[in-house]
Structure 1
Amino acid sequence: MNWFDIGEINDIPLRGARCLKTRQGKIAVFRTHEDRIYAIEDHCPHKGGPLSQGIVHGAAVTCPLHNWVISLETGKALGPDDGAVRTIPVRVEEGRILVGLGELLAAAE
């Protein structure tokens, strides 16, 4: 797995997000109120809305376009909606956020 340092945990506000552009598409990196970090593909499975611009609550994000709620832990739509986005491995070491893009890059080749 190739881990990429994308910055300090404090670069993302609590209940906020950061969007990363990769060759394979955009990734949304979220920081919850509980200070947990998650990364998922930055498009809602419904109509492709930018999840990085959504509202973070608990371990979920609400899409800004049509209010679909997506689990940050599993990438699956919650409630009556059906669909999912890919989750991306992420970890925090010494206050730095590392995103595991190795599998994503290999899958795209």
Structure 2
Amino acid sequence: MENMTVKANRIYYPVGNLADFPLHLGKAVNIEGQAEIAIFRLSERTVYALENRTGHKKGGPLAEGLVSGEYVYCPLRDCKISLRTGEVQLPDTGNVRTFPVCLEGDTILVGIEP
């Protein structure tokens, strides 16, 4: 992909501008066929990226989940997942893969290990 950046053994791919991601809503992006990622913008410059599926068997699309504070609720099972760490909150268990995010100006970049 054009304009990718390499930092700390990760390749950072641009996924869009801040204005492309509405506050408190998820949006799915596909990074060069490597990963489908749910992007969540919580404030003007606070952005999180998680794998766009939960860890349970049905694998609900997280980008369609309800955001509350720093958590997203799985649209299929209603489990609560930390946007910061990917940890599924009790009484459920598990983890969702998270990806590092950095901003270059208003461009959001998501890091993926090669």
Do they superpose with TM above 0.5? yes
SS in 1 for 2:19: helix
Which of 2, 16, 26 in structure 2 is aligned with 1:17?
26
Gap change, CA 1:56 and 1:33, over 3 Å in 2? farther
Distance 1:5 1:25, change over 3 A: closer
Match of 2:88 among 77, 94, 105: 77
Give the partner amino acid of 1:40.
L
CA contact (8 A) 1:43 1:49 kept: yes
Give the TM-score taking structure 1 as reference length: 0.86
Matched residue of 1:5: which SS? strand
Between 1:25-34 and 1:50-59, the stretch displaced more is 25-34
Q: CA deviation at 1:79?
A: 2.1
- The aligned amino acid for 1:5 is P
Runs of 5+ in structure 1 lacking a partner?
A: none
Contact 1:33 1:58 in 2 (8 A): no
The answer to which structure has the higher helix fraction is 1
Match of 2:38 in 1: 28
TM-score under structure 2 length normalisation: 0.82
1:43-62 matched pairs, under 5 angstroms: 43-46=53-56, 47-62=58-73
| Contact 1:6/1:96, CA 8 A, preserved across alignment | yes
Partner of 2:52: 42
How high is the sequence identity, in percent, across the aligned residues? Answer: 44
Letter in 2 for 1:51: L
Tell me the SS of whatever aligns to 1:52: helix
Stretches (4+) displaced over 4 A: none
Offset at residue 12 of structure 1 (A):
0.6
